[in-house]
Amino acid sequence: MKPSANRSLISRFVRENATTMTLATIFMAVLAVFGLILGDRLLSVGTFQSIAFQTPELGILGLAMMLALLSGGLNLSIISTANLCALTIASVLQFTIPWGDAGSVLWLTWQVGAVAAGLAVAILIGLLNGFIIAYLGVSPILATLGTMIACKGLAIGLTRGNVLSGFPDPIVAIGNGTYLGVPLAFLLFVALCVFVSVVLRRSSFGQKVYLVGANEKAAQFSGIHVKRVLLLTYALSGALAGCGGLVMMARFNSANASYGESFLLISILAAVLGGINPYGGTGKVSGLFAALLLLQLISSALNLMNFSQFLTIAIWGALLIGVSALRSGTGIFDRLHLFEFWRAKSAVSENP
Amino acid sequence: MPKTIQRWTRSHEFWLLAVVIVLSMFLTAATDSFLTLQNLFDLLTSTSFAGILAAGLLVVLVFGGIDISFTAIASVAQYVALTIAKTYPIGWFGVFFVACCTGILCGLFNAVIIHKVRISSVIVTISTLNIFYGLLIYITRGDYITSLPSYFREGIWWFEFTDSNGFPYAINFQALLLVVAFFMTWVLLNKTNIGRQIYAMGGNEIAAERLGFHVFGLRCLVYGYMGFMAAIASISQAQLAQSVTPTTLIGKELEVLAAVVLGGASLAGGNGSVFGAVLGVMLIAILQNGLILLGVSSYWNQFFVGCVILLAVSATALSQRRRHAGLAS
């Protein structure tokens, strides 16, 4: 391989992963600054374990939001879907007689069945969203706003606002157990990241999602069944939201109609910070992953410094505006030319 | 003349009005308490907060933008105004003045960021919601303000009268602010040059810019107006609640958005009317009130509201699609 070809490969990698690399750079910088201030208190196994415990809830919900964003839409119903899914699992576990003895295979099957029922509910809500958006032509923000309020209403109505709590050990372990020191929920999150990434990058469905998000009309004219793609996208988004609900209920060992509502807007924030274009068409799972770790690092560091979590969300908001300004390349950070520099470099190496 | 009537019967507002009237007639027939002065006044008072916000949000939506941060702006505005009012004798005028200045400043901050950073207004206002709200709670430590000045606690009443059962009624200041907010918005959108420009911007931003519209100025005006309305709404809410709780308003933003959208405003901009927004707010308020009067458990409230929103947006989308198909053929 000629050195120039090699260099253009590197520059291509830099260009395609600019967001992830920017976020990784910021991550290292934040780690260095807070590491100097906090020393061993930050740079310890415990801190990183707590980050790994806190990331999955928001992370899985972020994946659900990301899919909708990539297709050019938005899914405001992820939290109510997650809660309805969790409540379904919880009520199956509480109102049916456990199968077999504790610890037996039959007993585990019963719990898997409960989780499957919950995920089925989540997928149904996703299909409803997809149907309203794709086949009735309602804008995603309105359709999912409606299902958000209706699903939350259904959950409140059925539970009368009560909390269902106390689940069998295997369910609780999903949220609180570890394997070789790594939280199980984090492993689940990583597995889902890999799954979504493979679906988006390697399957024809994934490529269609990007195309529909980039230009719905062009996708339609090039023979893509846009409606079916949207239906599937929202079904998958619903399923992922359901997984988020499972992790939430496992972590709290309880389920309720209005848990985790503050995650809704934060999940959009995380996805956009991770380089997912809010108008659809571009964005990668790796970007979202880097963004989530950065957000959790800031949160943990500020927490160690005894600042309130509300300062954290203010800083998260400012971070999104800052990174967006950097990314858009116009406006207040115009003089930094960070991206212009990269772009110019890759252009030079491609046309020597 | 028949043509105008025909156009009117095809409009979104006509159908919404029909639904509101049918629902009201049904509730009047089914319950004794719906069509009583007391209930109607209560309805007006309790929708004041959401209604005033809806008036502000309508302008932003017509402009082609969106604002999610107004509940945070409202929280900041009421906290600042009533903290000052607690120690200094600034009076009613002072409370409104301080709140409105705070609200407008927050709105202008949104406008500047959206204009300079050039990212979608949803993303900017989600960020600023977190910034305003996070800083407010961080600085105030989430403390309530309960010791409000006596003039503020008493509120303002006009035309007090008593009905045959001995219940006192009056036009209170929540109801007045609600009416004033919608009237101001109506004047702004329908009777001023600026209003026409806002509709034009929402219709086609690039065309409007090429025609020589001052886009940045308009954006500042629209988001500043939203901040102003958020401030007014927050004072109305604080007077009703008799206290300031910095965490209580957050989370209501999507409900207000739902009401405005129910009223026919499109998220793409250029569409929407004050009458529609009033009807949207009314429909949700009457629905919630009616469910309570009918004895439906209040736990089911949100479910019905959600279903009505889903039905309304689906019906609108379908009728629009039919109209487009009609135009094409």
On chain B, the residues whose CB falls within 8 A of the CB of A143 are: 310, 313-314
Mean pLDDT of the A260-275 span: 88
Contact B306 A153 (CB under 8 A): yes
On chain B, the residues whose CB falls within 8 A of the CB of A138 are: 313-314, 316-317
* B274 close to B190: Cβ distance less than 8 angstroms: yes
Instruction: State the pTM of this model.
Output: 0.86
Mean pLDDT of the B175-187 span: 91
Contact A157 B300 (CB under 8 A): yes
How far off is chain B from A160, nearest CA to CA, in Å?
Answer: 6
The per-residue b/e assignment along B281-311, b for 16 or more CB within 10 angstroms, e otherwise, is bbbbbbbbbbbebeeeeebbbbbbbbbbbbe
**Percentage of chain B surpassing pLDDT 90?**
27
Most confident of A315-324, B107-116, B164-173: B107-116
On chain B, the residues whose CB falls within 8 A of the CB of A316 are: 127, 130, 134
Nearest CB to B120: which of A148, A161, A278? Answer: A278
How far off is chain B from A313, nearest CA to CA, in Å?
Answer: 6
Mean pLDDT of the B72-87 span: 91
Q: Among the listed ranges A162-171, A189-198, B32-41, which one has the minimum average pLDDT value?
A: B32-41
Contact A325 B116 (CB under 8 A): yes
* B272 close to B12: Cβ distance less than 8 angstroms: no
Q: Backbone dihedral region of A225: left (phi > 0), alpha (psi from -120 to 50 degrees) or beta?
A: beta
Distance CA B113, CA B130 (A): 14
Distance CA B222, CA B55 (A): 12
How far off is chain A from B106, nearest CA to CA, in Å?
Answer: 14
SS (H, E, C) chain B: CHHHHHHHHHCHHHHHHHHHHHHHHHHHHHCCCCCCHHHHHHHHHHHHHHHHHHHHHHHHHHHCCCCCCHHHHHHHHHHHHHHHHHHCCCHHHHHHHHHHHHHHHHHHHHHHHHHHHCCCHHHHHHHHHHHHHHHHHHHHCCCCECCCCHHHHHCCEEEEEECCCCCEEEEEHHHHHHHHHHHHHHHHHHCCHHHHHHHHHHHCHHHHHHCCCCHHHHHHHHHHHHHHHHHHHHHHHHHHHCCECCCCCCCCHHHHHHHHHHCCCCCCCCCCCHHHHHHHHHHHHHHHHHHHHCCCCHHHHHHHHHHHHHHHHHHHHHHHHHHHHHHHC
Q: Please list, in sequence order, all residues whose beta carbon lies within 8 angstroms of the beta carbon of residue A45, skipping any fewer than 6 positions away.
A: A181
pLDDT confidence bin for B302, thresholds 50/70/90? confident
pLDDT reading at B171 higher than 80: no
Closest CA to A155 of A234, A233, A261: A261
Closest CA to A183 of A195, A172, A193: A172
How far off is chain A from B254, nearest CA to CA, in Å?
Answer: 7
Contact B113 A266 (CB under 8 A): no
On chain B, the residues whose CB falls within 8 A of the CB of A272 are: 119, 123
How far off is chain A from B175, nearest CA to CA, in Å?
Answer: 27
How far off is chain B from A271, nearest CA to CA, in Å?
Answer: 10
Q: Among the listed ranges B54-63, B71-80, B303-312, which one has the minimum average pLDDT value?
A: B303-312
Domains and CATH numbers, chain A: 3-350 (1.10.3470)
Quick: pLDDT tens for A141-165: 889 999 999 999 999 998 888 888 8
**Percentage of chain A surpassing pLDDT 90?**
35
* Mean pLDDT, all residues of chain A: 84
pLDDT confidence bin for A54, thresholds 50/70/90? confident
Contact B300 A149 (CB under 8 A): no
Domain B2-319, CATH number (from 1.25.40, 1.10.3470, 2.60.40, 3.30.110):
1.10.3470
Q: Which pLDDT value is given to residue B163?
A: 64
Contact A315 B122 (CB under 8 A): no
Mean pLDDT of the B232-246 span: 87
Q: Which pLDDT value is given to residue A337?
A: 44
pLDDT reading at B54 higher than 90: yes
pLDDT confidence bin for B121, thresholds 50/70/90? confident
On chain A, the residues whose CB falls within 8 A of the CB of B302 are: 149-150, 152-153, 156-157
Distance of CA B228 to the CA centre of its chain: 12
Q: Which pLDDT value is given to residue A338?
A: 45
Q: Which pLDDT value is given to residue B266?
A: 80
Mean pLDDT of the A185-214 span: 92
Q: Which pLDDT value is given to residue A329?
A: 60
Q: Which pLDDT value is given to residue A332?
A: 39
Q: Which pLDDT value is given to residue A349?
A: 46
pLDDT reading at B109 higher than 50: yes
Contact A265 B68 (CB under 8 A): yes
pLDDT confidence bin for B162, thresholds 50/70/90? low
Quick: pLDDT tens for B191-221: 988 888 888 888 888 888 888 888 888 999 9
More confident residue, A7 or A63: A63
On chain A, the residues whose CB falls within 8 A of the CB of B122 are: 74, 268, 278
Contact B116 A266 (CB under 8 A): no
* Mean pLDDT, all residues of chain B: 85
More confident residue, A326 or B85: B85
Mean pLDDT of the A244-250 span: 93
List the domain boundaries for chain B: 2-319
pLDDT reading at B131 higher than 90: yes
Size of interface A-B (CB pairs under 8 A): 163
Q: Which pLDDT value is given to residue A341?
A: 47
Mean pLDDT of the A179-208 span: 91
pLDDT reading at B99 higher than 60: yes
How far off is chain A from B172, nearest CA to CA, in Å?
Answer: 31
Quick: pLDDT tens for A55-91: 899 999 999 999 999 998 899 999 999 999 999 999 9
pLDDT reading at B180 higher than 70: yes
Nearest CB to A317: which of B128, B251, B299? Answer: B128
Contact B318 A136 (CB under 8 A): yes
Contact B127 A156 (CB under 8 A): no
**Token pair belonging to A14:** 């830099």
A-chain residue closest to B247, CA distance: A310
Q: Which pLDDT value is given to residue A227?
A: 92
**Token pair belonging to B83:** 């903290």
The ipTM estimated for the assembled molecules is 0.84
Nearest CB to A145: which of B142, B257, B320? Answer: B257
* A259 close to A162: Cβ distance less than 8 angstroms: no
Which residue, among A135, A276, A324, would best test binding to B if mutated, counting the most B CBs under 10 Å from its CB?
Answer: A324
